Structure formats: C-alpha cells, structure tokens
Amino acid sequence: MREHTGRTGHDMPIRIRKLIGGAALIVLVVSWALVAMALAQLPIIKSNGIVEAIYYVLAGLGWVLPAMPLIKWMSVDGRQRTDAG
C-alpha cells in the first residue's frame, strides 16, 4: 500500500502540467517585459550608457531564473514515481 505524499498536483497528467506551465510562462514573460520597460525609464538607468547596457542584459536574462523551476515542474510526469522500496 502506498503512502500519500501530501503533495498537491502530484498525479496531474503531463499534458495538463504543460498547458498550465505554458500559460504561466507567457504571463511571466509579458509581465517581466512590462516591468523591465518601466524600470528602464528611471533616470539612474538612463543617465549612463554603461549602466543602461548592463541593465538591459540583466533584465533580458533575468526572467530565466524564475522560469527554471516552472519548466522543471512542467517536464516531470507525476505518474512516474521514484519510490525506493
């Protein structure tokens, strides 16, 4: 008899995970872009070309960090269990 792990969505089919994750990624990227564009207009960023270039590199790549756990969650099939024993 298997114990209940208490994790919600553990048995969610991978197709549903990818649907939810895809929608969440779209929301994440669009909202990240809007916030990044708004912050890019701050005088402290606009005043120096080097600071502006660094900001655009960081803002352009920054969405990847919050997206990584979401993509990992999307790719794990909840029905494949790795119970040892």
Q: What's the pLDDT tens digit per position in 29-68?
A: 999 999 999 999 999 999 999 999 999 999 999 999 999 9
pLDDT for 10 equals 62
Q: What is the mean predicted confidence (pLDDT) over 60-84?
A: 81
Q: Is 35 left (phi over 0), alpha (psi -120 to 50) or beta?
A: alpha
Neighbours of 21 (CB within 10 A): 19
Domain locations along the chain:
29-75
Per-residue burial over 57-75, b = 16 or more CB atoms within 10 Å of its CB, e = otherwise:
eebeeebeeebeebeebbe
Cβ-contact 40, 55 below 8 angstroms: yes
pTM exceeding the 0.75 threshold for the entire prediction: no
Q: How do residues 11-34 score in pLDDT, each as one tens digit?
A: 789 899 999 999 999 999 999 999
Taken in order 66, 36, 47, 51, the sign of the CA dihedral is positive
Residue type present at position 38: A
